[in-house]
Structure 1
Amino acid sequence: MKKITYFFVLLTLVFSCSNDESDRSDELETLNPTAYNTQPLLTKFSGTGLSYEINGNSVIFTTQDLPDHTSPYWDTANALYEEYNGTNPDWNQNPGSIGAQNIVFTISLKPSEAVNKETTSLGPIGIARNGVVFFNQYAAGNNPLTGEINSFDQWLGHPAMTTYHYHVEPTWLTQEFGEDAFLGLLSDGFPIYGPMENGETVTNADLDAYHGHTGVTEDFPDGIYHYHITNEDPYLNGNGYFGTPGNISR
């Protein structure tokens, strides 16, 4: 009789835990997208020449796009100038340099999935928490990044003319805040996180066609759709924005 009772209790516990996990999964999958609110993330933005203001359900970022870290692309008279000391044996400096920009993003604070997805364009598609802009997975002419990668500095950014930007993991930020940390926002308002989640490396196979998924993050314990940076193409973004992109002016 004792063995039967013990088995019944154990079966009840297993069934209960299984139901809890299933309910949690269902809850994330059916999370009302109108519940998304990224305003709490704004306090994490800080950078030279970076400011923001809230206008209704939108945030307006104005950035000079100046990295807060060293680079060989700074003028040699700048205190942040540093010769390349990264690990790429094929590194080749491009002819660009870091210069102050005036880039304005108007981004929704309450993003939701777009019915009709839009492709990303060349140029800025999002903003990192230090004010540097993100570009998509293509070089000029919508070509693969294969050659351009060799011009990325020691923090994996580089300039297009004078517009400094990241295509891939901004290692300055992941080194400072962690590989699972919030890194910035794409123009559609959805957050970008680093290449780790729950102690595991995120791969492209873990993500959808837009290079994101819905799940719990440190900032959103109830779950939110978010992008991840991975170490393989498309690195940050896939087949366009998951949500509706806001306005970007330069």
Structure 2
Amino acid sequence: MIALSVNLNKVATLRNTRPHDDPSVVRAARTVLDAGAAGVTVHPRPDARHIREQDVLDLADVMKEAAYAGREFNIEGYPDDRFLDLIRRVKPDQVTLVPDAPDQATSDHGWDLPAQHNFLAPIVAELKDMGCRVSLFADAEPAIAEAMAKTGADRIEIYTGPYFETFGTPENAAILKAIVDTSEAARALGLGINAGHDLTLENLPTLAQAVPWIDEVSIGHHLIGEALWMGLDGVVKAYRDCLAV
């Protein structure tokens, strides 16, 4: 079964509209893990507009509890000094590196490889030496897989924004084929496959059936939005049902 990691950024976004700790990011993490999520994801940005450094430290403590043995903590972000210092303190199970500018609204493109190889390769090596699995954010382009593998990364996370944007239109078939072809190319090189961005209860079953060897999907915005109607426990179970291919 494809693993579901729940991105908690939107819980933190709501919390940050008031000068207190409600809704609690830690409580949300416990809720999704108790509902069967394989892990949680956070993206601590430089402006702390959602996840804050203290959230990362608090969640790291939660993930060490015996009740959540085998669940994974995934931290994603651009590998600047601030981000890497936080990773060195926490040593999460997985680090997902994204090529985001500081003021970028959301991750919307993959790494430019091989052009950025010399920047990424030593960072990947350091993270792996810490014991972290390393995933690189990637566009759905099969030719990029070899360059991704050469960095030493363990996995790629395929950006699925265009898949969401075209779902239900004739253009979607070509986008889905590019995702399948990219995942096959990466898999042939020994890379694991993650996927993320704008995956929904509507479009996730099609993706899971087309690429059943995906290791993990990271879902936040739409999952938290659906939780308004289904509850956080119920929506995690609904997304897990979509992944049971």
Please give the TM-score of this superposition, normalised by the length of structure 1. Answer: 0.24
When Rg is computed on C-alpha atoms for both structures, the one with the higher figure is 1
Please give the TM-score of this superposition, normalised by the length of structure 2. Answer: 0.25
- Pick the structure with more strand per residue: 1
